[in-house]
Amino acid sequence: MKFASAAIRQLDTARAAQELIGELERQLGGGDRPPDLVLFFATPPHAQSAGVTVASFQEAWPDAALLGTTAARILHPTSSRVNRPTLAALAAWLPDVAVVPFRMRLDDFERPPICIEKWQGLLEATSDPGLVIVIADPFTTPTAEILESLEMVAPGIPAVGALASGAKRPGGHVLALNDTLHRSGLIGVSLAGNLRADVLVSQGYRPVGRFFQVTRAEGNVVLELSGVPALEALEQMVSGLDRDEQVLLRRGLMLGEAVSEPEEELGRGDFLIRPVVGLDHEEGAISVAGLVDEGCRIRFQVWDNTLVDDLQLLLLPQMADSQAAGGLLFGSWPGRKPAPGLRFSVGEIQSTLGYPLPLAGFRGSGEIGPLHGANHLHTHTATLALIRPALPSHAVVN
Distance, CA of 216 to CA of 306 (rounded, Å): 32
Task: Give the burial string for 93-118 (b: 16+ CB within 10 Å, else e).
Answer: bbeebbbbbbbbeeebbeeeebbbeb
What's the pLDDT at 79? 73
Which CATH architecture is the domain 205-302 placed in?
A: Beta Barrel (2.40)
Give the count of beta carbons closer than 10 Å to the beta carbon of residue 261.
11
Q: Is 8 exposed, middle or buried (0-12, 13-18, 19+ CB in 10 A)?
A: buried
Predicted pLDDT at 249: 83
Give residue 83's pLDDT. Answer: 64
Separation CA 339–CA 203 (nearest Å):
13
Long-range Cβ pairs for the range 57-60 (8 Å, 24+): 57/17, 57/21, 57/89, 58/178, 58/179, 60/21, 60/25
Which positions of the chain have pLDDT values less than 50?
Answer: 338, 340-341, 394-398
Domain with CATH 2.40.30 in the chain: 205-302
Report the pLDDT value the prediction gives residue 344, as an integer from 0 to 100.
67
Report pLDDT for 107.
Answer: 87
Which of 192, 143, 221, 181 has its CA nearest to residue 51? 181
| pLDDT for res 396 | 44
- Using DSSP's 3-state secondary structure scheme, residue 217 falls into strand
pLDDT in the model for residue 263: 56
Q: What gap in Å lies between CA 226 and CA 212, rounded to an integer?
A: 6
